[in-house]
Amino acid sequence: MSTRTARNAPVKPASAAKPAAIPEAPARPLGLRLQAFALVELREAQALLAKPGDDRHEGVHQARKRLRRTRAALALGRKALGREGRRLDEDLGRLCRGLSPLRDAQALIEGLQRLPATAPGPLASALPDMVALARKRRDDCLARALARDPDFQRRRDRLQAMTVRLEALDWTGVKPGAVAKSVARSEKRLAKARRRATRDPRDDARWHAMRRRLRRLRQQDHLLAAVEPDLRPVGNVTAEEAAVLGEAQDDALLLRHCSSHSPFPPPLRGLLRAETRARLGRVRTPATAATS
């Protein structure tokens, strides 16, 4: 080729050149992704406990959910996180249980509000008064709690300290194989709790334990769906069963409020006791038959 020909040959525009391949950023280690998830949950729990006025009732409920999700993350890394991780889990459990009376007081109202669709006439007629009595008990319970801990500041400070502790744990040691074993353990615990509960439909403690096991497995499923879908539980996680057991737990709470410490007068306790026992029987007997 002549020099002239080469000089006059068309030049390929620089913009048409193939760009250099950009390597994908490596995924963060699983343990650090679990840590990030748990930190978000703890910080949200602090914010929820700061809700003002009537929003406090829902704030307490949602804050307890965030605490349980944090504990679900800790359970997935239990072995690697060591003694400090277990101590943090125990402290979170104590804080969550300390909020239980407030949540139960609100759940009593919600349980009563679900009754009208099936309640017999005399009970249905009395429900507005019963809800009013339950609201008074709830508001008194919250007022006492806030008198001891204004704006839940002490609890929020504890959560802030726990956030620091959670950050300091050795999350880099949490490996996929260990997480898979933790999920399998949760599945086995649910299966065992289900067998125990369905042997006796009247044993509230066993049914409550089954609900806690199912809730823990669902929390871990939710968590892993966000950070590592390949490690999600393979079965036993159904929203329908969780919803049914949640309503049954509220019915069991209603039944507990038929004792001498009930906010309701004796005649109404009898009506409520009969209705809640019938509702619990309808929920639990089919499950017993299905597993027998």
Question: CA quadruple 29, 31, 32, 33: dihedral positive or negative?
Answer: positive
Give the integer Cα–Cα distance in Å for 89 and 91.
5
The crossing angle, in degrees rounded to 10, of helices 266-291 and 239-256 is: 150
Q: What is the mean pLDDT of the chain?
A: 86
Per-residue pLDDT reduced to its tens digit, 39-84: 999 999 999 999 998 899 999 999 999 999 999 999 999 999 999 9
Confidence of residue 259 (pLDDT cuts 50, 70, 90): confident
What is the percent of the chain with per-residue pLDDT over 70, rounded to a whole number? 87
Confidence of residue 14 (pLDDT cuts 50, 70, 90): very low
Using CA atoms, how far residue 141 sits from 105, 244, 267, in Å, is 7, 27, 24
pLDDT at 248 (0 to 100): 81
Phi/psi at 250 (nearest 5 deg)? -65, -35
pLDDT at 237 (0 to 100): 64
Confidence of residue 147 (pLDDT cuts 50, 70, 90): very high
